[in-house]
A and B are shown apart, each in its own frame.
Chain A
């Protein structure tokens, strides 16, 4: 048996409806052992609904949610997960060490308070009351609570919101260390660079569907766009009319062209404007791929409506 393809949690043909509103529409999603899966999508795409279903906080209208092959509401299954939710006000008169001690008590084989604090970078805060911490420090404490039970699967919902760059990078390092230890992580985030830096697999959601699933490179390849940026006197509208040009706009003093055939467009650009300067050519990042995917989805949604 290959442990690397064990299924830790899954949604199988799950729909979730609230009255007339369909939050999720027959979604299949699988989280495998030892992977960091990032779930991306605009607000209302169904990310939080999917997480809530996997945590057993809500029940599917149709289909099945599984956590370690069981009902997510079974406490035996939840004893192997760690959770960091987007909005959770912890009892703020408790000290960080007390919160860690309490949360660790729910688990069969937790880390020591010192170890959890060390991993999340809150070792110096253990004696401080939670309410005296800054927003970024509180997020790190919540991260410590998520990992203190030695979970096999961590759910992190927008974990780095409100963190400065240094804190964010520390958290990234900690996430990588956990994955290296063999934990799986489900990460929802608005920061595409976060998914790009950490995720082995990316699921993009929109309007309650899974739009794309695969590695970061797969996702980029799905939208094989290149971005050309330069200072040029050429008219954007004219360039937009050329063959192979996806779009051309003027931003500040610069012309920005997206294209799937960069070489052809470049040749023509350089020919048409000998004075062209400050040329930049860049393969589309996850951000562009993401925008492209969700735009297609919006268009499809409007046509269907």
Chain B
């Protein structure tokens, strides 16, 4: 209140109401969903692979694999399908936005803590939901799978929540590499992991050594749950759930540490 004024900091008016903070989280998630739903270059590859595989192997060639193949493949291809919005929607976009200045701008702006990441997570869940619904429709109407409401709801919940460990993995990869190189690196993770955890060829038909290796991948555990849900296997679910939570926590932790250090 005196000559010291040059060093007196300007006073700030009152902060955000809780309602506005919540609004900011919602606006971020909405924008993130909108921008990717309008981007065919992202959406089409993500949606099309699992659907195309299902159409080929379950619908067209389904008869030759014997009874239950189209139900079994519904579970594995849904897991294969939802991995990609997690890995690419999260990882590739983070890598690109670390490079093109958007992340820097978000860090300078008063974006509420985590809103940027939560937005991407919700986007991945929405796209995953789209993939599962498409596969369920194909299974019901083309694959002649007796889809019960309980089974549909179970698979939907499994896959929409199951995308989260892959978001964390993608996020970690996205912190390791910047820019356009990320999609390539993610494919090197995505495709071998899908094969090695038995999403393309059922595990019992893979060599014994690979069967032993499979549990190190999160996709193996998610597939086990999905197979149980569609009635093609009987497993105790909770150990798999715990492993998946573990994967999510570890990768999220690694990614946060790198983001804090390297931005």
A interacts with B? yes
Residues on A lying within 8 angstroms of B by beta carbon are 1-2, 5-8, 30, 32-33, 55-57, 66, 68-70, 75-81, 83, 85-91, 93-94, 98-99, 101-103, 105-109, 129, 149, 152, 155
Q: Evaluate whether A103 and B108 lie within 8 angstroms (CB atoms) in the complex, with A2-B5, A108-B13, A108-B17 already known.
A: no
A75: B residues at CB distance < 8 A: 110, 112-113
CB-CB nearest in chain B for A91: B35
Q: Is the CB of A98 within 8 A of B34?
A: yes
B14: A residues at CB distance < 8 A: 108
A81: B residues at CB distance < 8 A: 108, 110
B113 to chain A, nearest CB (A): 7
Chain B interface extent, by class: 35 or more
A184 to chain B, nearest CB (A): 9
Residues on B lying within 8 angstroms of A by beta carbon are 1-2, 5-17, 20, 23-24, 26-28, 30-31, 34-36, 38-39, 97, 100-102, 104-105, 107-113, 263
Which residue of A66, A85, A101, A152 contacts B108 across the interface (Cβ within 8 Å)?
A85
CB-CB nearest in chain B for A54: B108
B172 to chain A, nearest CB (A): 22
B12: A residues at CB distance < 8 A: 68, 76-77, 79-80
B38: A residues at CB distance < 8 A: 93-94, 129
- Across the A-B interface, how many residue pairs have beta carbons closer than 8 Å? 121
Having A5-B5, A57-B107, one finds 8 other A-B pairs with CB under 8 Å, namely A55-B108, A66-B9, A79-B110, A90-B105, A94-B31, A98-B31, A106-B110, A108-B20
Q: Is the CB of B109 within 8 A of A105?
A: no
Q: Is the CB of A7 within 8 A of B8?
A: yes
Q: Is the CB of B8 within 8 A of A6?
A: yes
* Interchain CA distance A85-B108 in the complex, whole Å: 9
* Interchain CA distance A69-B8 in the complex, whole Å: 8
Q: Evaluate whether A30 and B6 lie within 8 angstroms (CB atoms) in the complex, with A76-B15, A105-B27, A108-B20 already known.
A: yes
Which residue of B6, B11, B39, B108 contacts A78 across the interface (Cβ within 8 Å)?
B108
Q: Is the CB of B6 within 8 A of A102?
A: no
Q: Evaluate whether A107 and B110 lie within 8 angstroms (CB atoms) in the complex, with A79-B16, A88-B104, A89-B102 already known.
A: yes
B175 to chain A, nearest CB (A): 17
A7: B residues at CB distance < 8 A: 6-10
B20: A residues at CB distance < 8 A: 105, 108
* Interchain CA distance A109-B12 in the complex, whole Å: 12
B180 to chain A, nearest CB (A): 12
A200 to chain B, nearest CB (A): 15
CB-CB nearest in chain B for A184: B10
B5 to chain A, nearest CB (A): 5
* Interchain CA distance A1-B108 in the complex, whole Å: 30
Which residue of A78, A80, A102, A107 contacts B28 across the interface (Cβ within 8 Å)?
A102
Q: Is the CB of A85 within 8 A of B27?
A: no
B17: A residues at CB distance < 8 A: 108
* Interchain CA distance A149-B39 in the complex, whole Å: 28
Which residue of B5, B35, B105, B107 contacts A93 across the interface (Cβ within 8 Å)?
B35
Q: Is the CB of B9 within 8 A of A69?
A: yes
Interchain Cβ contacts under 8 Å between A and B, 20 examples: A1-B5, A5-B5, A7-B7, A7-B9, A55-B107, A57-B263, A69-B10, A83-B109, A85-B104, A85-B108, A87-B100, A88-B101, A91-B31, A99-B31, A102-B30, A103-B109, A109-B13, A129-B38, A149-B110, A152-B10
Q: Is the CB of A102 within 8 A of B31?
A: yes
Q: Is the CB of B105 within 8 A of A85?
A: yes
A8: B residues at CB distance < 8 A: 9-10
B9: A residues at CB distance < 8 A: 6-8, 66, 68-70
